[in-house]
Chain A
């Protein structure tokens, strides 16, 4: 040990450790910091290539699943061929953007940025992922992220070329939501108990709530963070949380967040950042 100290290695080690602790504090407190941006830029190309390569080779589904998907694709292809001119290159890009076209048509005020999942980290237990668009595409922290069929999360971190999406399956998300059928309000937040099954919670329901299985849950838009009436999912079950003594509903998003590949980020919408009055919220 004495030899180690005399060789100066321990001093190098302690100096490096001190620098790392300082960098840790810096990177945790400074959004869009130079260190994470640099590493993300370095790994961006690599991740892009590997994600694209994987997309072309399928995703390890069983034979039956592949067969089912193949049949569905054949049907869809026949239908499309009858209606569209068969330009394959254009069609591939179209198919990706088409998913969000309806949304844009319904809500002309939405500014949508289509993006593709760049990578998923094996450490993340709530299925967060990184997309291939960042602040250079006007994406910023807090922007809602849509799947083909509804809200799937929000941008939790963004740098120039990539952005991290925290999903509605995560306990970090807290989205004001309403049951469209009964007008019961609550908060959509994830739980480790349900995330594995692609489900989240519609929590903090009143004891006299009328939420039932099959109800559709949408955003309230009260906070001005999410547009109102974005579909979050469908109620699958009702439960009671003995810990905070309130009822909750188990909600299943319409998109399988665990496997989603194409998303759209809403970078701007009418009412963004405005705190709507409670009266307006009730009218929803």
Chain B
């Protein structure tokens, strides 16, 4: 019973974190543009929560964050939802069975995930879509966004680790 209760509060904490960062990310002119871009905060939440959770909860968090990222961009579910679903599920499985959920491991995994996700986004949205000057866009926006997202994932990792330690079920 106690275990169920702590799980409930943990998911509630994740939900509030997602809502707060969604508002922070989508409110006009709230966060300043640094080198023409802002971090994708919901991506950080999904990636950091996944490392502490089991496969299915990690996947659900990935879906929620992915849907909000995609629907913020256009009125359709797309690349981020599907990519985050896969990444979060795989990470949830790996962190529980194959590798330890330690900070150095997280840094490496976040680097690969953030880099991979944005490169995929860049390929789909710009290169394959045939947008002119995609190199300019990559240098002026995407690179900065990738770096900022990666950096932002570090404090969010510690926040989610705190949530896990405080409201985790002791696994």
Q: A residues near B, CB below 8 A?
A: 3-4, 9, 12-13, 16-17, 20-21, 23-24, 27-28, 31-33, 35-36, 39-40, 43, 46-47, 50-51, 53-54, 59-60, 117-125, 129, 157, 159, 164, 171, 191-193, 196, 243, 259, 261
List chain B residues, Cβ under 8 A from A47: 23, 26-27
List chain B residues, Cβ under 8 A from A157: 74-75
Q: Are A24 and B75 in contact (CB under 8 A)?
A: no
Docked Cα-Cα span, A28 to B76, in Å, equals: 5
Task: Check: B116 CB closer than 8 A to any chain A CB.
Answer: no
Docked Cα-Cα span, A47 to B22, in Å, equals: 9
Task: Check: B10 CB closer than 8 A to any chain A CB.
Answer: no
Docked Cα-Cα span, A35 to B31, in Å, equals: 28
Q: Which of A12, A17, A43, A196 sits near B140, CB closer than 8 Å? A: A196
List chain B residues, Cβ under 8 A from A24: 76-78, 81-82
Known: A17-B86, A54-B29. A33 touches B75 (CB 8 A): yes
Docked Cα-Cα span, A121 to B56, in Å, equals: 28
List chain A residues, Cβ under 8 A from B22: 43, 46
Q: Are B27 and A192 in contact (CB under 8 A)?
A: no
Task: Check: B155 CB closer than 8 A to any chain A CB.
Answer: no
List chain B residues, Cβ under 8 A from A16: 59, 63, 85
Q: Are B82 and A50 in contact (CB under 8 A)?
A: no
Q: Which of B27, B39, B81 sits near A51, CB closer than 8 Å? A: B27
- Among B99-107, B126-134, B159-167, the stretch in contact with A: B126-134
Known: A123-B40, A171-B132. A27 touches B28 (CB 8 A): no
Which residue on B lies nearest to A8, using beta carbons? Answer: B56
Docked Cα-Cα span, A39 to B18, in Å, equals: 14
Instruction: Report B54-81 residues with CB < 8 Å from chain A CB.
Output: 55-56, 59, 63, 67-69, 71-78, 81
Q: Are A60 and B68 in contact (CB under 8 A)?
A: no
Count how many chain B residues have C-beta atoms less than 8 Å from C-beta atoms of the other chain.
48
Q: Are A50 and B73 in contact (CB under 8 A)?
A: no
Which residue on B lies nearest to A241, using beta carbons? Answer: B132
Q: B residues near A, CB below 8 A?
A: 19, 22-23, 25-32, 36-41, 55-56, 59, 63, 67-69, 71-78, 81-82, 85-86, 89, 93, 97, 131-134, 136-137, 140-141, 145
A206 smallest CB distance to B (angstroms): 20
Which residue on A lies nearest to B72, using beta carbons? Answer: A121
Known: A17-B85, A24-B81. A192 touches B140 (CB 8 A): yes
Q: Are B78 and A28 in contact (CB under 8 A)?
A: yes
List chain B residues, Cβ under 8 A from A196: 36, 140
Known: A12-B56, A46-B19, A171-B131. A193 touches B28 (CB 8 A): no
List chain A residues, Cβ under 8 A from B74: 157, 164
Q: Are B23 and A9 in contact (CB under 8 A)?
A: no
List chain B residues, Cβ under 8 A from A39: 67-68, 71
Q: Which of A50, A123, A164, A171 sits near B27, CB closer than 8 Å? A: A50
Docked Cα-Cα span, A17 to B81, in Å, equals: 9
Docked Cα-Cα span, A191 to B131, in Å, equals: 8
Q: Are A35 and B56 in contact (CB under 8 A)?
A: no
B170 smallest CB distance to A (angstroms): 21
B37 smallest CB distance to A (angstroms): 7
B145 smallest CB distance to A (angstroms): 7
Docked Cα-Cα span, A124 to B131, in Å, equals: 14
Q: Are B36 and A122 in contact (CB under 8 A)?
A: no
Docked Cα-Cα span, A28 to B137, in Å, equals: 24
Q: Which of A9, A123, A129 sits near B56, CB closer than 8 Å? A: A9
Q: Are B132 and A191 in contact (CB under 8 A)?
A: yes
Q: Are B25 and A122 in contact (CB under 8 A)?
A: yes
| Given A9-B93, A40-B71, A259-B29, 5 additional A-B pairs, CB 8 A | A24-B81, A28-B78, A47-B26, A192-B134, A243-B132
Docked Cα-Cα span, A117 to B25, in Å, equals: 14
Q: Which of B22, B29, B86, B141 has the most CB of A within 10 A?
A: B29
List chain A residues, Cβ under 8 A from B78: 24, 27-28
List chain A residues, Cβ under 8 A from B23: 46-47, 50
* 6 pairs of A and B residues whose beta carbons are closest in the complex: A27-B76, A122-B38, A36-B75, A59-B29, A192-B137, A121-B72
Q: Are B72 and A50 in contact (CB under 8 A)?
A: no
